[in-house]
Structure 1
Amino acid sequence: MEDMSYWKEVWERKGRSNTKCLEELDGYEDTTANVKEIARQITIELDIKETDKILEVACGAGGLAQYIKCGEYVGVDYSSTLVKKHIKLLNNSVLHGEANDLIFKDKSFDKVFCFGAFHYFPNQEYAKQAIAELKRIAKDAIFIGDLPVTSHREEHLLYDKKDFQDWNITDGYYNPCRFNVSLKLR
C-alpha cells in the first residue's frame, strides 16, 4: 500500500468520535491487547526511568502514554484529531507530525518508542526513513513493537526478522504473528 490516505482517514475518524476510551481510540478494541501490560513491558525493555525524556512516535490518543512514567513525555502522531484528543484527555505534550520526518534535534530524547504503527506505513522506504529518524533522535535506546510477519489485512505492511539482525528481537506482546525490536545506542 503506497498511499497512507486510507489509514489517515481511519485515524482521523477515530479522533472525531465521542468516546473517551483510549484503547478504542487507539484501535485496540477488537484485539486481545492489554495496553497497561504492553506499556509495562516497553518500560522494562527500554529501562525507562522517572528522570528520562521519552518520545512516543505514533502515540495516538495516549493509550500507552497513560501508563508510561517518566521525567518528560512527548508524543507525535499523524492524526490531528487524535493529537487533539490526546492533549484533551491526558494533557501531554503532543505534536502533529510524520514518523519519517520528525522535527526534533539529534539526540534530544533519552529513549524513543513506537508501538503498533509500522504496519500502517505505506512502504518499506517510509519505514526505513522512520527508523533512521528514531535512531537520530534517541540518545540511549529505541523500541519498535508489534511488527507483523503476516496479517489478516492486505493493507498492512509486513516485516521480516532478518531485516533486524543487529537488534534485540522479542516475540509480540499479544499476537504470535508479530514481533518487537529494540536497539541500545550506547
Structure 2
Amino acid sequence: MEDMTYWKEVWERKGRDTTKSLEVLDGYEDTTANVAEIAKNIIKELDIKETDRVLEVACGAGGLAQYIKCKEYVGVDYSSSLVKKHIELLNNSVLTGEANDLIFKDKTFDKVFCFGAFHYFPNQEYAKKAINEMKRVAKKAILIGDLPITSHREEHLLYNMNDFKDWKIIEGYYNPNRFNVVYNL
C-alpha cells in the first residue's frame, strides 16, 4: 500500500471514539497482546531508567506510555485525534507528526522506540527514512517492535529479519509471525 490515507482514516476514527480504554484506542482489542507485558519488555530491552529522556514514535493514545517511567517522555503520532486523546487521558507531552520527519534536534533522546506501527507504513522507503530519523534523534538505543514477517491483512507492510543485520533481533512478544529489533548507538 503506497498511500497511508486508509490507515490515517482508521486511526483518526479511533481517536474520536468516546472510550477511555487505551487498548481499544491503540488497536489491541482484537489481539492477544498484553500491553503491560509489552511495555515491560521494551523497558527491559532498552534499559529505560527514570533518568532517561524517551521518545515514542507512533505513540497513539498512550497504551504503552502509561507504563514508561522516565525523566521525560515525549510521543509523536500522525493521528491528531489520538494525540489529543493521549494528552487528555495521560497529560503527556505529545505532538502530531510523521515518523519519517521528526522535528527534534539530533541526539535529543536517550532511548527511542516504535512498537506496532511499522506495518502501517506505506512502503520500505518510508520505513527506512523513519529508521534514519529514529537513529538521528537517539543517543543510546532504539527499539522497533512488532515487525510482521507475514500477515492476515494485505494492507500490512512486511519485513525480513535479514534487513536488520546490525540489529539485535528478538522474537515477537505476542505473535510468532512478528519480531522486534534493537539498535545500540
- Shorter chain as normaliser: what TM range? over 0.9
Secondary structure of 1:136's partner?
helix
Secondary structure of 1:111's partner?
strand
Letter of the 2:124 counterpart: Q
Aligned residues: 185
Distance 2:22 2:61 in 1: 6
Does the alignment pair 1:66 with 2:53? no
Letter of the 1:63 counterpart: G
Structure 1 segment 108-119 matched on structure 2, within 5 A: 108-119=108-119
Does the alignment pair 1:22 with 2:39? no
Does the alignment pair 1:167 with 2:167? yes
Q: Kindly, what percent of the aligned residue pairs are identical?
A: 81
Structure 1 segment 113-132 matched on structure 2, within 5 A: 113-132=113-132
1:156-184: CA deviation from partner (whole Å, max 9, x where unpaired): 00000000001000000000000000011
- The aligned residue for residue 150 of structure 1 is 150
Q: Mind listing any 5+ residue stretches in structure 1 that lack a counterpart?
A: none
Distance 2:24 2:51 in 1: 30
1:98-144: CA deviation from partner (whole Å, max 9, x where unpaired): 00000000000000000000000000000000000000000000000
- The aligned residue for residue 133 of structure 1 is 133
Secondary structure of 1:145's partner?
strand
Letter of the 2:96 counterpart: H
Secondary structure of 1:55's partner?
strand
Q: Mind listing any 5+ residue stretches in structure 2 that lack a counterpart?
A: none
Distance 1:125 1:119 in 2: 13
Q: CA deviation at 1:9?
A: 0.2
TM-score, normalised with respect to structure 2: 1.00
Distance 1:7 1:172 in 2: 22
C-alpha root-mean-square deviation of aligned residues, in Å? 0.2
Letter of the 1:88 counterpart: E
- The aligned residue for residue 86 of structure 2 is 86
Distance 1:33 1:50 in 2: 25
Q: CA deviation at 1:45?
A: 0.1
Secondary structure of 1:28's partner?
coil
Letter of the 1:146 counterpart: D
- The aligned residue for residue 36 of structure 1 is 36
